Amino acid sequence: MSILVTGGHGMLGSSVDFGLKPNRKTLDLNKYSDIKTYLDNNEVTEIIHLAAKVGGVGANIKYNLDFLLENSIINSNILKAIAEYKIQKSTFLLSTCVFPSNILGEISEFDIHEGQPHSTNLGYGYGKRLLEIGSRCLLSQYNIKSSCIIPCNMYGKNDNYNLEYSHVIPGLIHKCYLAKINNTDFEIWGSGKAEREFLYAGDMARILRSIHIDNNPYPEIMIVSPHTTYSILQIVEIIIKLLKFNGKVVFDSTKPEGAKRKTSNNSVFKQYFPNFNFTGIKEGLELTIEDFLRNYDSLRK
């Protein structure tokens, strides 16, 4: 059994402790010929598809078309390869960005196509939705079962700290660190009132191990979240404490902050993983910041 983990050197992929993890030089997912060659040479029997073009609110707004095109290409290539090689077990990682912005209350797995994604991540959201549609088409045309996992906002070790492309937590960590060493204000986009659910990447890696190594049952689609929300202000307060920042914090309400609140229904996840223990936000941030400080010179930034 050979499990291909795309994006195996990213934040989540580096926490997955099994499988084949080619780098971009070894396997270019934009080229279908590269994928065919890799599958032929490695006898891949399962795929965990984590690779994606990702970024924060600013990057998604600025490069909406780029996010749509690149994610659509690599996702289409993976789906095509699964069909051609009849790979019977695959897991696709989606994002809560696929959900419509008009959903009131908790979002569920069945809300994906009930409206457009939020305007701040329109291209990325539709690019990721392709995997959910492709998963259903694989089942109906080829009788190949796959699973779409939708984690809430992930963070963890080996994240991308580039201030243009980072997600909220790595962006806040890096900005706070720079404000501290440069003795400047810690500037934050938005009001700080937006609320999100956060998932430590190591937890998601344990779930993938359960599905692909332990062969535990899994649904065709599943949201993964601790079902606990935090405001950006609360996250900022924890980061400030852990980085021992004593300067001024400035919230710029003229800047976009995405949807005001994202909460999800994790009842499907609880059916399949009833005893799963999530890493608490304070512990997860402490582990993340320790890794950030220890490896700052070599991190993506």
Q: Is 124 a catalytic residue?
A: yes
* Residue 259 pLDDT exceeds 80: no
pLDDT tens profile 107-150: 999 999 999 988 888 899 999 999 999 999 999 999 999 999 99
* Residue 256 pLDDT exceeds 80: no
Higher pLDDT, 183 or 60: 183
| Sheet strands side by side (includes 153-155) | 153-155, 195-200, 229-231
Question: What is the number of domains present in the chain?
Answer: 1
Cα–Cα–Cα angle for 207, 211, 215, rounded to 5 degrees:
140
pLDDT at 73: 97
Supply the pTM of this predicted model: 0.92
* Residue 286 pLDDT exceeds 80: yes
Cβ proximity of 232 and 168 under 8 Å? yes
Catalytic residue among 63, 124, 155, 200: 124
* Residue 76 pLDDT exceeds 80: yes
pLDDT at 208: 97
pLDDT tens profile 20-32: 999 989 999 999 9
Query: What is the domain range of residue 188?
Result: 3-298
Q: Could you give the dihedral angle defined by the CA atoms of residues 212, 34, 87 and 144, in that order, rounded to the nearest 10 degrees?
A: 110
Q: State both tokens at 111.
A: 């809300």
Q: What is the mean pLDDT of the chain?
A: 93
Residue 73 sits in a domain of what CATH number?
A: 3.40.50.720
Mean pLDDT confidence for 281-289? 97
* Residue 257 pLDDT exceeds 80: no
Q: In this predicted structure, which of 10-14, 63-67, 70-74, 79-83 has the lowest mean pLDDT?
A: 63-67
